[in-house]
Structure formats: structure tokens, C-alpha cells
Amino acid sequence: MSGTYTGAEVANLLRWQRDEVDATLERANQAVRHHERMKAELSAQLQQAQADLGAALLPQLDPAWLSRAIQLTGYTPFQHQDPIGQREKERAQIHGELAQIDADPAMREAELLRHPRTGTLVVKRAELMGHRAPWAEVLDRAAHPRLPHLIDVGYGTERYDVPFWRLSYYQDWQAGDEILEKFPGKQAFGEVRDEILRARETVTTFDQAIGDVDRQLAYGAQLEQRRAQLAHELSRHDARYLHGARERLVQHLLTVDAKAIKPWVSADPNVELLYLRASGLAAKMRYLDAMIQEHAQKASAQLYEQRQGLERQIAKYSRPKKLYATYPRDLIDQRTRSRKERWDKHFRRLESSYTTVYVYDDWSRARSYHDLSWWHVMTDGRASGSYIPEVAAFEREHPDWRPARDDFDDFDDSAAAAAAAVEVEAVGSTGHGVDLS
């Protein structure tokens, strides 16, 4: 019938539509991957812009420069949390701890005590280890799984009272002979036992002495490590406090409404331009993130859902009982029509808007705006950013800036997905519908 499709033909049309969705889905994913690369570049630019702004605001951490920075930024917390006072307090604490370390005998006599070759503790430890070695060798030779038991029961002495009819008697006998074999000059296990006990006691004594030396060496090493750490902290102390103060000033500028900030920073044209650059780059990153989220990641989610539905449809129409059924051509054509042109238009608009925002770098232009919205500066108000909360809030306060239409007003593809879910009955069927979802 010229006005119908068989189930097999419908399945082929759905496969074609699935391939089109796959290509579009890849395009959306490519946009996301491209954004991640661009975002890394912008992040480096923003980091540099913030560093430049911080250096211009506070070249040095001294009272005069700090007072100027407060005037340019309105950052009043520095009036109550004086970073200069905090810096000097911490510096005094570091110097105090260094003085205590340097006064410690373990630090004063570090060379005498811990020189790798001639230090008295190092030499003493080597001597103790040398004296310990022969006694430790006795214990190593006597090592046997049953030795602790033989010592405990007094094997080889008059105290040993295990009767000969017990299995343990013969096990002790065998173990004693195995140990005795390792001491050729000894005639009986009792002689070996006495030597083992003397070795145990001697090794324990030496181990205690060596442990005491090791504790002294470790204490001295800890002092040296702590002193090196404090010296390193002191070497970067001023830079760390200066960096921290700059960071707080910059973050304050980038989080407070530009309308409040601009009258302060405009007192220094150089600082104002650096502020606008950092503010613009931060806004650019937020806008591009939102743009990709709204127009690529959401599209990707919709397309993936469509693809899952198409896979289910293909499986249904590929079943033997549906392959040769016939379905109205006009309805099938409507459900499987190409959306490529529509998606091409969507992604061209995304690319155009994305590029417009990404390449913008005329930071001085924003000097002429009292109430600043970077979105409208970057796009000249020709693109809708109403999906971005800060842009929507600005447009509510300034309705004249709102674009006449949304460039992406045809983005939502949920209607197409819903249409594909409508049942289409086979021609000549008894009313059993075919779910295209």
C-alpha cells in the first residue's frame, strides 16, 4: 500500500533517526569538551588578572598602602583585623620558638653529638651495636619454635619434671638436641640454656642503652627539622601575609555589587581598569559555564533520552509479529522527520554567542556604565541570558536592557520527544496501539 510502511521499514526509519540523534549528541558533547579546554585557559587568565589587581591595590603591607587599599575597595574588616599586627605577632612567636630551639643543648651541640662520623652519640651507638652483636648471634643460632617452651619448663635443669611417657617429653628431647647441634662446644642442653639466658639479658641491656641513644638522636633530628621549618616560614612570612591580604581584597571586589565598588576603585584609573579586567573575566567564566549547561548539557540529556526511546522503538518494530504489519505513512513520517536543521541552527547560535562572550576583552568600555552587567556589555544586549540568575535579576531592574526575543527560544525538544511517544495503530488492527516511545 503506497500510504503505509511495514514494520521493517519503520524500524529502518527509526535507525536513521537514531543515527541522526547520535551525531547531534556528539556535537553537544564536543561543545562541552571544547568548553573545558577554554575554561582552563580562562582560569589561568583570571588567576593572573587577580594577581595583578592585588599587586596594584597593595604593593606592600604597610600602614600607608593598607589605608589606601581600604579606601579603594571599601574593605572595612582590615580596620578591625589588622593584618600587619597579626603578621608581627606571628613573627614574634616564630622568633621566640627559634630562640628556645637554639638554646636547647641538643641543638647547641648538634655537631658534637650527631655528626654522621664523629658525633659522640653516633659513635656510642656504633660501639653498643658492636658489643651487642656476638650476644645477638647466640640468640640467632639458638632460634627454634620450641625454645621458649624449653626455657619455661626448665629443660636441661633439675627443675624439668615432664615424665618420659608423655609425648611432650620426646618433643622437648628432640628440640633440645636440634638446638644443641648448633653449639658444637657444648655437651648438654643445660650449658646452652645458660648461655642463651646470659645472651638474652645482655642483649636486653644493650637494647635499652641503644634505645636511649636513638631517642636522643631522634629528638635532635626533630629539633633540626622544626628549626628548618620555622626558618622557611620566616623566609616567606612577609610574602604570605601580603598574598593573603591581596586575596581578601580581590575576593571582596569580585563579590560585591559593581555599583557599590566602582565609585571607590575609579579613584585610581589603573586599579579601576585592573578591577574591570578581573571582574569581566570572572563574569565570562560564569556566563560560559551557564551557556554550556543550558544549551549543551541539557541538550545532551534530552538527546540521550530520545536515543533510549528510539532504541526501544527499533526493538519493538524488529519483532516478528510487527515486521510485516503496516502503519500510516503520514503519521510515521511525522514521528520520524529530521530535526537536523533545527539542531544545526541551535548549535550555530550557541557557537556564535559563546564566541562573542569568550573573545570579549574591551574592559575599559565598562567604565562608562554605572550599574554594570557584563553580559549586556559583552553582547550589546542582543542575546538573552535570562537563564543566568544575575542577568535575569539585572533585567528585572532594567527592563530596557531585555532583548526582544530569546535566541534559543526553540531549544526545548521535549515536545518532539512526547510526540514520538504517541501510539500509532497498525492499519487494519483491532485497536491495539504501537508505542513509539
* pLDDT number for residue 261: 84
* pLDDT number for residue 436: 33
SS3 state of residue 155: coil
* pLDDT number for residue 412: 55
Closest alpha carbon to 25 in 350, 293, 291, 300 = 300
Residue 327 φ/ψ, nearest 5 degrees:
-135, 150
SS3 state of residue 328: strand
pTM of this prediction? 0.74
Annotate 212-281 with DSSP letters as a single string.
HHHHHHHHHHHHHHHHHHHHHHHHTHHHHHHHHHHHHHHHHHHHS-HHHHHHHHTTSHHHHHHHHHHHHH
On whether the CB atoms of residues 230 and 97 are closer than 8 A, the answer is: yes
Matching residue, cell 516511545? 437
Cα–Cα distances (Å) from 19 to 26, 311, 344, in that order, read 11, 11, 15
**DSSP bridge partners of 6:** 326
Q: Is 427 left (phi over 0), alpha (psi -120 to 50) or beta?
A: beta
For helices 63-73 and 7-57, what crossing angle results, to 10°?
A: 140
Q: Chunk the chain into consecutive blocks of 10 residues (it has 437) and report each block's average pLDDT, rounded to whole numbers.
A: 84 94 95 96 97 97 94 89 93 96 95 93 96 95 93 91 91 93 91 94 97 97 96 95 96 89 90 95 96 95 93 92 90 91 94 94 88 89 88 87 60 51 50 33
**DSSP bridge partners of 433:** 425
C-alpha cell at 226: 622544626
Element (H, E) at 433: strand 433-434
Q: How far apart are the first and last CA of the chain?
A: 25
